[in-house]
Amino acid sequence: MSAEKDPAVEAAEAELARLQAEAEAAEAALRAAEAKARLAAARAAVAQAEAGEAADPETAPADPEPGVESAVAGDSAAAPAAASEPTGATVSARATSGPLDQDDVRAIAAAYAFEGETLDIGALVNGDPVPDAQIRIPLGMLNRHGLVAGATGTGKTRTLQGLAEQLAAKGVPVFAADIKGDLSGMATPGEPNDKLLARTQGIGQDWTPAAARVEYFALGGVGKGVPVRATVTGFGPLLLSKVLGLNHTQESSLALVFHYADKNGLPLVDLEDLRSVLTYLTSDEGRPELRELGGLSGATAGVILRELITFAEGGADVFFGEPEFDVSDFLRTAPDGRGVVSLLEVPGVARRPELFSTFLMYLLAELFEILPEVGDPDKPELVFFFDEAHLLFRDASKDFLSAITQTVRLIRSKGVGVFFVTQTPKDVHEDVLAQLGSRVQHQLRAFTPDDAKALRATVRTYPRSGYDLERVLQELGTGEAIVTVMSENGAPTPVAWTRVRAPQGLMDPTPEARIEAAIAASPLLPKYGERVDRESAYEMLTTRMNAAEEAQRRAEAEAELARQRAEVEKADRAAEKKAQQEYERLLKKTSGRARTRTSSRAEKSTLEKVLGSRTTQTLLNGVIRGMFGTGRR
């Protein structure tokens, strides 16, 4: 028997040995990393304790004598928070230093362990963070929509940023309005600091700085970004009624005006177009057409016209016009496969809240229009963050509300996920709220009896849990939230007190110069940068009204001319008659005297005399003046 081995076996053994060595090295590296993370977290906690920052909500260490009451109250003492247990270990005893017992914690960890791809929200907090219990949203359930709510400064924007970054990294385009300009930081890698790293390590987040591919847009081109405009026709009467604050009757009247314009081939591109149609319908020429329309009174048309003028004079005319924005430009991915994050700057939201929220609704409705049905995809086509959502629902008419509810319900099958971002869930209409699968509820405050009532109402909308939610919701730290999501089988997950991951981008705005450079280099700028003004209702109606006016002027002038001609003829006849009489008188006088000598010359000279007389001259002058129309002046 030969001692020589088969070369194939030899190669396989060598490969096996290599893989084993590699696996061992990887394991060692992992252990080292974990140890380092624990060390860093412990160091940070000690440093914080020494600095007397023990009560800092973001990294609050646990109470050494943990009990439900004290942990919930957050009055923890400064024990070194060896917060993170080794990953993969079974849920540790330290994980039960909060309101939940070990079984609860295990159940939560299991309920959030999904099969498919997920977005990571953060780690469960039970007194301490429990890095083994990661709280996530299944990527495929994002089209079941969501809510991010919380009082100001509690972490909504950072939660939104973190979700948006992860979505983009997984190839999902994202749209968000950047109201305070603080989301632009996504375009710049974040900056680490000890506090941040202690936080991320504590929740088992392997934090590295990263930037997303961001495209900047500006509503109406006011502000920094590629201009986003809508045509009036595209916007439609319902949304326009909302921004104009019209009542129900006026709303249906406006719909008739749109119908009229459409039927008569009058394109409504900008506000000027709509204004000219209303002006026309309330003018003498247009009144018969107004009557024919039925259901639209001149008075109502007048009111709408006034509202429209005020609206346009307030500067809103820049938001309407061409080129109209094509929302498919929000569905882009970068060449490397990452989703593009579209950030819309909205100037002066506070001054024009209804315009802002209505515009977002318009964009959503447009997306609904252009996207095909996809059912329930593995990952969404787009996730749309609807910030300051309370503005959308405020003073909304019944029709408008029903339009929102329908859009939100149906857009799911087009693969679009909508996240409403607002201060309290009561800002969102209950029909819409009922459709939101994921909820990330940051701290709520209950300063007034109204707040307290809203808080209790919010609590009632959660599934039963091991938490005293009314209390916990008021005591969550900054960047912590009460979370429940829709699991892959469509059932809500158990409520989890979560410390939210930190975004990998900058938590401050991206520097202006970089934003400007990005806009200047945008491939969309040539398409939308310049406003164009094509022939539309305004120009067409102006021409029509001018033509009508011109015709009337001409008719008047012709009538005047005819009148004057008649006057001239009358005067002519009178003059002739008078001359004849004068002639005959003279003839009589002279007859018999120089009759024979009377020549044609004598006759002529008499006629000349008559024509030269003062009365005749005055009469003739009057006729000439009349013909030039200057007579009465």
Which residues form the interface with Mg ion (CB under 5 A)? 157
- Considering only 49-57, 127-135, 155-163, 524-532, which stretch makes contact with ligand ATP by CB under 6 A? 155-163
Interface pattern 196-225 for ligand ATP (x via CB under 6 A): ---x--------------------------
- d(Cα 237, Cα 567) in Å, to the nearest integer? 57
The H-or-E segment that residue 123 falls in is strand 118-126
Q: Give the shortest CB-159-to-ligand ATP separation in angstroms.
A: 6
Does 157 contact ligand ATP by CB under 6 A? yes
By the rule CB under 6 A, 98 interacts with ligand ATP: no
Contacts 24+ apart (CB under 8 A), 529-535: 529/221, 529/226, 529/227, 531/221, 531/227, 531/229, 531/321, 531/322, 531/323, 532/321, 532/322, 532/323, 533/269, 533/270, 533/321, 533/322, 534/269, 534/322
Apex 537 CA angle, 536 and 543, nearest 5: 95
- Among ligand ATP, Mg ion, none, residue 202 binds (CB under 5-8 Å by kind): none
Residue 229 contact among Mg ion, ligand ATP, none, beta carbon within 5 to 8 Å by kind: none
Residues 467-486 contacting ligand ATP, CB under 6 A: 478-479
Measured between alpha carbons, how far is residue 443 from residues 402, 500, 582 in Å? 30, 12, 113
Q: How far apart are CA 515 and CA 217, in angstroms?
A: 11
- Contact pattern from residue 503 through residue 522 relative to ligand ATP, giving x for each residue in contact according to CB under 6 A and a dash for the rest: ----x---------------
> Phi/psi of residue 127, each to 5°?
80, -70
Q: Which residue is nearest to Mg ion (CB)?
A: 157
Contact window for ligand ATP (CB under 6 A) among 151-159, 230-238, 249-257, 444-452: 151-159
If phi > 0 it is left, if psi is from -120 to 50 it is alpha, else beta; for residue 177 that is beta
Nearer to ligand ATP, 154 or 465 (CB): 154
Which has the closest alpha carbon to 572: 580, 560, 562? 580
x/- string (CB under 6 A) for ligand ATP, residues 250-289?
A: ----------------------------------------
Residue with Cβ nearer ligand ATP (233 or 424): 424
Q: Is 156 in the site for ligand ATP (CB under 6 A)?
A: yes
- The option from Mg ion, ligand ATP, none interacting with 479 (CB < 5 to 8 A, set by class) reads ligand ATP
Of 520-539, binders to ligand ATP (CB under 6 A) are none
CA–CA dist 269, 280 (Å, integer): 16
Q: How far is the CB of 345 from Mg ion (least distance, A)?
A: 15
Nearer to Mg ion (CB atom), residue 157 or residue 250: 157
Residue-wise DSSP of 608-626 = HHHHHSHHHHHHHHHHHHH
User: What Å distances lie between residue 403 and 234, 257, 359, CA to CA?
Assistant: 15, 20, 14
- From 149-157, 205-213, 262-270, 613-621, give the range in contact with ligand ATP by CB under 6 A: 149-157
| Position 234 contacts ligand ATP (CB under 6 A) | no
How far, rounded to the nearest angstrom, does the alpha carbon of residue 162 sit from its chain's CA centroid? 20
Position among 99, 138, 155, 466 found at the interface with ligand ATP (CB under 6 A) = 155
**Residue 501 Cα to chain centre, angstroms:** 27
Pick one of ligand ATP, Mg ion, none as the site partner of residue 219 (Cβ within 5 to 8 A by kind). none
Q: Of 87, 152, 249, 615, which one interacts with ligand ATP (CB under 6 A)? A: 152
Q: Which of Mg ion, ligand ATP, none does residue 150 bind (CB under 5 to 8 Å by kind)?
A: ligand ATP
List all residues 6 or more positions away from 255 whose beta carbon is below 8 Å from its beta carbon: 237, 238
Instruction: Report d(CA 173, CA 163) in Å as an integer.
Output: 12
Distances (CA, A) of 33 to 83, 128, 201, 375, 550: 15, 20, 10, 42, 86
Where does this chain touch ligand ATP (CB under 6 A) — which range of 318-326, 411-419, 499-507, 571-579? 499-507
Report whether the peptide linkage leading into residue 323 is cis, meaning its omega lies within 30 degrees of zero.
Answer: yes
Q: Which two tokens stand for residue 596?
A: 């024979």
- To the nearest whole angstrom, how small is the minimum distance from the Cβ of residue 421 to Mg ion? 8
Residue 584 CA to residue 580 CA, distance in Å, equals: 6
Cβ distance to ligand ATP smaller for residue 390 or 412? 390
Binds 213: which of ligand ATP, Mg ion, none (CB < 5-8 Å by kind):
none
For the CB of residue 376, give the shortest distance to ligand ATP in the complex, in Å.
29
Q: Are 328 and 370 in contact (CB under 8 A)?
A: yes
The span from the CA of 423 to the CA of 367, in Å, is: 26
Does residue 163 belong to the site contacting ligand ATP (CB under 6 A)? no
Which residues are at the interface with ligand ATP (CB under 6 A)?
150, 152-158, 199, 478-479, 500, 502, 507
